[in-house]
Structure 1
């Protein structure tokens, strides 16, 4: 493979341990919002709520009020992990016959399902599922929150009133999706110049431009003042449903009013004298757990860094786990899909942690904006296989099967970490390797995040970081076809993780080193 990047360029992110709490997020401004909550005495859950809402403003194409996802919590005083599941559901009025197959070809987006007429399951209001992120945040806050709900949502209101400051990276993201956004007048008005071009600042001069997110600010203000129910019942719900149905979708007020997030017991894996806690059920957790359990059987760590044997073992276990997932769970996401999710991790000064992954599914979701609320809407219906009679087939009022995999790990040495990632099917391998680097090789967070990774996510092939030693690359090639690529800002070949760690009473955080917006902030 030939690329145009300088071989002399080295990218690093510094990790500094602190007695304060830390938020690690894919956008620094959202991390700053969460860190301010921690500095004011808030719990990790308080910071998670504030960060979640802020991310919906500053990284709107990844998540927001119309998203779904999951949170893994660690309560230091209880030495206990818990899970909040706030995944999306299909609308109650959804009719599978409204998504007829074309008879040839495959879907135009993440999943290689059989193609649906007009991509009705991929783009547009017909792809919108029932969102759960606000219910999930509310459920966690009800049990562990210490700060007032309004206080936690208000920073996002202010960010939306200001509008996202666009730069080269937001322009890159928008340009790669401009064709789809242009098909919805309201999405085009929010994200595109003249309905066609990505909104950009200056090239050589400093010319600040901001997205117009004033409608979103008004919606967030109502949620701040009225609490979580203000989204699922009342004026916001009515306006959102009216907009979706006007554009051809079937979301109803009954869908929103009936939605409930759930407390779940974590899927716990005993590993190397410690434990790792993951999300159960229709998530990436079971596949992650299978891979990690098999990795412990595959090899015994030697030394402080992963060698060729370690990478071979990682590749074999991920390959076996994905074979199980793709055959039994109905997940057939393309391994080449771009990151379209956001993850953040939080630790407070007492050691309580949250690992939170939330998503619109595709980048920019359904590429539809609700004009009354300013919300960019999800395309969660695409998670279902449109072909009838399969494990994950389209059906009304059904919870989706997702890839996200937030985890909390406790090592034999008592170090505790919370990590997760965005990046579709690549999430599992990234989270599993970061767990292994920490638990098998004793790495701290900075070492683990800078350690080169591989991706094995189905298809019988390995994608390897070109900075891996030649003996490792040769060893990988001996067990599976291997392509060598560079770690870049877009697309992310090895997912986009974010994590925090507590060791010896001090905290630290780190995000994917190539993420230009991602950062860890102490508070």
Structure 2
């Protein structure tokens, strides 16, 4: 006998609204730091730099200076968008033969490549790629920042000096990676007790445990004084390279010194009465463009997302990912844990930043540079260790990422009148291959159905990212689930705090001079914070 139960529990996270600037981030403290920068007269890019480094301190398992990422920037005065991709890159001296394939089996983490003996491409010093996050932040700041670089790093330095507070959520994250962290002496000493047990917060509100981040604080202090170039050509570079080479990694001073990025013209994706601006290369931007191009002719939007629109979403996403897997070589597991962070910013003038950064896996390579306190990425895992494929491992090669930061704009027409307004939004998400489907659905909710940012973020979604099964929010209407089940295998699940079955988005929007911000409803740390009115 089957039973049907009605659930009355709902979770809501109201959007923050203000005529001032707003920062939406996966950690509320980082959002507060960004809002403070806006209050001090900084613009959206200044706030993004401050939030980038703060997130590396407050949520170190997701991102940090030794990672990579991408961003979209909107300049209101120019009415122009800019794309900047600063993904990781394989070292020039990397030897593919150092990653011998196992006789059988798949890799142990995000990607279903052939397994490498000892998972050397997944964790440990050989998995470390050339980082790009500091170069990205520095490039954006040099082009558009208003405040001194040194000032923008001070909040992150302050947080690092205080140490990472281990609350229930941090304890849960650390506990989930204890075995991997224990393999690197410096990672174990940082995150584990007695180098083998997770650092667990006490059960009472008065209990407090903090992780020592003093080495990281010293590195950030030096970086603040010397500027971003030091990370690639100065003292920080020398210390980082020596540490990684001492542990057996490929990273070299030449790798860092030769790392270079440039602004690119973004993809401009027309979609009905809207435009979406996305990163053009080595990200999920081209796959988003493919999906939206298909969708435009697949359904006519009604008053709200219905079975026909979700059926179109599923078909377009499936075809776009099939093309991506064949031509771009990106084959990561669609339901792997989220291990990235995203934040979106709009300032009082209407400038926007949509920025995603990552270490790739949770805790990256699970290797810490002991001289700098930097948790290193494991970007080598982004490559297929088997030769002869589109994304096969090779030296001096850029990584293909799943990040999908976008800037969108839509014309909103008032029914029954000739009045119209323009809503602009900046969104993105964390969650591996789940990122682009989330960004696509949120974009459709807002452009096809004129949803507010808040309503879009609360609406149930599904994940269709190249696997055999559609993962659908059980709160989707029964007729939507039924429609999807006609052509696909569908598994329903709840939207929960941990683990995330769906991507974890953060976004801001602006219409008629009023800004809004919202983050993933179930994210326990995420929030949108508005600058205080300084008039």
- Fold shared, TM-score > 0.5 on shorter chain: yes
Q: Which aligned pairs between 1:282-361 and structure 2 lie closer than 5 A?
A: 282-303=282-303, 305-361=304-360
Moved over 4 A (4+): none
CA distance in 2, matches of 1:442, 1:205: 43
Which residue number in structure 2 is paired with residue 505 of structure 1?
A: 513
Q: Which aligned pairs between 1:417-428 and structure 2 lie closer than 5 A?
A: 417-428=425-436
CA offsets, 1:203-224, max 9 Å, x none? Answer: 1352111110000000000000
CA distance in 2, matches of 1:220, 1:91: 24
Which residue number in structure 2 is paired with residue 62 of structure 1?
A: 62
Cα RMSD of the aligned pairs, angstroms, is 1.2
Q: Report the Cα offset of residue 6 of structure 1.
A: 10
Q: How many residues align?
A: 519
Q: Report the Cα offset of residue 145 of structure 1.
A: 0.3
Q: Report the Cα offset of residue 321 of structure 1.
A: 0.7
- Worse-matched range after superposition: 271-280 or 348-357: 271-280
Which residue number in structure 2 is paired with residue 465 of structure 1?
A: 473
- Residues 136 and 262 in structure 1, CA contact (< 8 A), matched pair in contact too: no
CA offsets, 1:310-355, max 9 Å, x none? Answer: 1111111111111111111101100121001000000000100000
CA distance in 1, matches of 2:24, 2:528: 4
CA offsets, 1:79-106, max 9 Å, x none? Answer: 1111111111100110111111112111
Q: Which aligned pairs between 1:364-383 and structure 2 lie closer than 5 A?
A: 364-383=363-382
Q: Establish whether residue 88 from structure 1 lines up as the match of residue 88 from structure 2.
A: yes
- Residues 17 and 530 in structure 2, CA contact (< 8 A), matched pair in contact too: no
Which residue number in structure 2 is paired with residue 436 of structure 1?
A: 444
Q: Which aligned pairs between 1:207-218 and structure 2 lie closer than 5 A?
A: 207-218=207-218
- Classify the secondary structure of the residue corresponding to 1:479: coil
Q: Report the Cα offset of residue 136 of structure 1.
A: 0.5
- Residues 19 and 506 in structure 1, CA contact (< 8 A), matched pair in contact too: yes
- Residues 272 and 412 in structure 1, CA contact (< 8 A), matched pair in contact too: no
- Residues 12 and 521 in structure 2, CA contact (< 8 A), matched pair in contact too: yes
Q: Establish whether residue 128 from structure 1 lines up as the match of residue 116 from structure 2.
A: no
CA distance in 2, matches of 1:312, 1:132: 38
Q: Report the Cα offset of residue 7 of structure 1.
A: 3.6
- Residues 87 and 132 in structure 2, CA contact (< 8 A), matched pair in contact too: yes
- Residues 409 and 418 in structure 1, CA contact (< 8 A), matched pair in contact too: yes
Q: Which aligned pairs between 1:95-244 and structure 2 lie closer than 5 A?
A: 95-244=95-244
Q: Which 5+ residue runs of structure 2 have no aligned equivalent?
A: 413-421
- Residues 26 and 519 in structure 1, CA contact (< 8 A), matched pair in contact too: yes
CA distance in 2, matches of 1:391, 1:308: 36
TM (norm. structure 2) is 0.96
CA distance in 2, matches of 1:393, 1:124: 19
CA distance in 2, matches of 1:458, 1:398: 24
CA offsets, 1:221-269, max 9 Å, x none? Answer: 0000000012112221111011101111010011111111221110111
- Residues 16 and 529 in structure 2, CA contact (< 8 A), matched pair in contact too: no
- Residues 111 and 334 in structure 1, CA contact (< 8 A), matched pair in contact too: yes
CA offsets, 1:258-309, max 9 Å, x none? Answer: 1112211101111112210011111101111111111111111011x10111
Q: Report the Cα offset of residue 16 of structure 1.
A: 3.1
Q: Report the Cα offset of residue 491 of structure 1.
A: 1.3
CA distance in 2, matches of 1:125, 1:359: 17
Which residue number in structure 2 is paired with residue 255 of structure 1?
A: 255
TM (norm. structure 1) is 0.98
- Residues 168 and 200 in structure 2, CA contact (< 8 A), matched pair in contact too: yes
Which residue number in structure 2 is paired with residue 483 of structure 1?
A: 491
Q: Which aligned pairs between 1:245-284 and structure 2 lie closer than 5 A?
A: 245-284=245-284
- Residues 342 and 356 in structure 2, CA contact (< 8 A), matched pair in contact too: yes
- Classify the secondary structure of the residue corresponding to 2:32: helix
Which residue number in structure 1 is paired with residue 453 of structure 2?
A: 445
CA distance in 2, matches of 1:412, 1:485: 34
- Residues 319 and 460 in structure 1, CA contact (< 8 A), matched pair in contact too: no
